[in-house]
Chains A and B, each alone.
Chain A
Amino acid sequence: MNKIDWQKGIKDLQNVSLTERERSELFVRISNRSPYAPIKSHWVIEQFVFVRRHGFVFSLLLIIALGAGTAFASEYALPGGLLYPIKINVNEPARGAIKILPEEKIEWEAKKAERRIEEAVILKSHEELNEEKQEKIETLFEKHKESFKTKSVRAIEKEEEKEEKKNAEEGDKRSEKAKKAVEKRLEDLEKAKKKAFE
């Protein structure tokens, strides 16, 4: 090989490129992916090697950390995310189960509806609120809202029954007040939802 061959070879190598189609398809593929997915660090592999060397200790720590870690991490999960089902099917029912007072349990239903609105707002700010995610959020929101309403009505009726036996007039006033408070809460939730999706 002489110098001219070398120069031609280099030129030929530098002419290797993507086809127009490959270039545009690749661009579309990248654009369609969410830029907000967690960045995978190159160091993960090195860390993995280290973990393998200290396998036993890490296995033990992993078992302890995994449960708590997943639950904690899933608190920040959004619809479409891997941990989102854990958030709504494990974390939230577990948090609901530890509420002792009936009013706390009722309030937790409204809180869950608010959490769905927060998720919608975050997704919207990241421009990731597509039709599918919005539908999912709305379904869950309605479910929580209905649950809040049903549980509230049931609690008020129970109170009314108790009051009837004591002081009917006083009981009516209190139950009226409670009904208004529930209506107001439902109205606020609806307003927040409208604002989040507009």
Chain B
Amino acid sequence: MDLDKKQKYFEGVYKTEVDKIFRFVFFRVSSREEALDITEEVFYKFWQVISRDQSVDNSEAFLFASARNRVIDWYRKKRPESLDAMRERAEDNESLPFDVEDKDYGKALSVSVEAGWVLAALKNLSPEYREVMSMRFVDDLAPRQIAQILRVTPNAVSLRINHGLEKLRKELGINLDKDE
């Protein structure tokens, strides 16, 4: 691919994915500025990869996985914890939390009351279900894509979504199916 084609390809992916990646990061770091910086780094890395003719099978999965890694790094820098604990957490592939420091969650992010409720409901789920549920409903990713990003099987993702839905039904009385 010559440089012109690479630039056009990058521009196309940027146009379709930038808002999704920004959103993904924003709800996890709760700061527009931090989210913008991380989004820039994610797309810059993607630009570096395609500039070097390295193949990217699924650009969306690549971008989400890259965003997830950068948010994990952001949490590591933010939280004063021992390096050993960091390593153990990384080895355990612990699920990525939302930034839950603000109690008045929706308000802090300048989103509607209902959106705040959704975020609070997701926040109440255990990390294992929270991440998958958020990717499925907020980021609108298919189980297959989530599986690629988290490097687990699609079956494991579907299972976690089912458990998450069950928890929402039991704890909040919301009856949802996978496609809602």
For the complex, what is the distance from the CA of A9 to the CA of B23, rounded to whole Å? 14
B149 interfacial by beta-carbon distance below 8 Å: no
Interface of A is mostly: helix
For the complex, what is the distance from the CA of A35 to the CA of B54, rounded to whole Å? 12
In the complex, the chain B residue whose C-beta lies closest to that of A35 is B51
A-B contacts, CB under 8 A, total: 113
Interface size bucket, B side? 35 or more
A52 interfacial by beta-carbon distance below 8 Å: yes
What residues on B are CB-neighbors of A45 within 8 Å?
A: 73, 76, 86, 90
Interface of chain A residues 31 through 51 with chain B (CB within 8 A): 31, 33, 35-37, 39-40, 42, 45-46, 48-50
Which of B14, B40, B114 lies in contact with A8, CB distance below 8 A? B114
- The stretch of A10-18, A67-75, A155-163 in contact with B is A10-18
Decide: B36 and A39 in contact? CB cutoff 8 A: no
Interface of chain A residues 100 through 128 with chain B (CB within 8 A): 127
Q: A6-B114, A39-B48 are in contact. List 9 more A-B contacts (CB 8 A).
A: A6-B117, A8-B114, A9-B119, A10-B137, A12-B112, A16-B109, A17-B19, A40-B45, A49-B83
Chain A interface (Cβ < 8 Å from any Cβ of B) = 1-3, 5-10, 12-14, 16-18, 22-23, 26-27, 29-31, 33, 35-37, 39-40, 42, 45-46, 48-50, 52-53, 127
